[in-house]
Structure 1
C-alpha cells in the first residue's frame, strides 16, 4: 500500500512539472510601450504626449479625456514564439493610478495600429474598437490589473507585423490619472502575457 501511494504521489508531481514546463509568462520590457499620450476634448488641438500622467475622464458617461498606449506586437510574438491565439492563456495590463479625482470604472479598448504620441490630439482622434476588452474599478491610488486577454488576442490576429494600441476610457463620472512611461518613478504601464502549450 505504501508503494502504491508513493507511486501515485510521484506521478502527480510529474504531471505538475510537465504542466509548469508548458506554461510561459512574459512581462513587457522597457521600450515595448513605444508611445503613450492622453487626449482632451476641452483642448482639442493640444498634445499631451510627454506628460507623466495619462488622464482618463468622463462626464455623465461622455468621454472627456482618453489615454492611448502603443505596443510592439512583433516583439511580443517573437519573445513568446506565439503560433496561435489558442496558446494565449491570459494577459494583464498593469497600470498605476497616481491621482484619483473621481473613483469609478475604466474600460479597455483595442486599436489595430500605432499612433504618434507627439502629434496625437483630440481633434484628430482615432476610432478604436467599440467592444470593451476589459474593465477595472479604480477606488484609490496604486497598482491595478486589467484583464487584457481578448485585447492581446486581437493584436496577434490583426497586427502581427505592426504595433497595436490599448485605449483607456472612463465610465460614468470617473476621472483618473495613470502613470505614463515618462513617470520618474518607473511606474509606467506593463503588459504581462501567459501562454499555455
Structure 2
C-alpha cells in the first residue's frame, strides 16, 4: 500500500498467485478490489480491508479478468418548493402550489410527497385524507419538474392564528442523497376571509 500524499510505502500485502493486475477502490476508501491474472489459466479476485491492510477474501476465476470497477448506484435529487397565494373574498381561500424538481442525475421513477393540511382541504392532483395530502410522482426526468395544486378554505382556519402547511418527500426511487431540500413550508394568517396574509 502507498500513501499518495507522502509517496511512501505503508504496508506490504502478500497476494496468492497469480500476480496482482488491476484494482479498484470503493468511493469511501474502505475496500480495495484487486484482480490476479497470470499464465497457466490462473485468475482470481482479492478484497483488501484498507483499514487493516489485510486480505479479507479471495475468489478464483476460470478466465482472464479484463478490468475491475466499482459501480455507483443511481440517485436522483428531488427538491421541493411550496408557494401560497391568498384568494381573499367572501369565500376566501389559500391556493398552494407544490413544485417537485429533479436535480438528477438519474430519472425519478417514483416518489411520494405528503403535505400536512387542515381537514377539508382539496386537491385535483393529490389524494387528501384527513389532514394529509399524498402526492405521487412518476417518471420525472433529470432537470424536469412537476406541479401539484392544493386549496384551503379560510373557513377551515382559526382566524388570526398562523397556519403552516408543510410538504415532505417521504419516499422516492432511486435513492435521494440530498435531504436538505426534501421539505418545504408556507405559513399564512387569515384575519377574515377578506384579509389573508402569506408572507
TM-score, normalized by length of structure 2? 0.32
> Relative contact order: is structure 1 or structure 2 higher (C-alpha 8 Å, sep ≥ 6)?
1
* Structure having the larger proportion of residues in helix: 1
TM-score, normalized by length of structure 1? 0.32
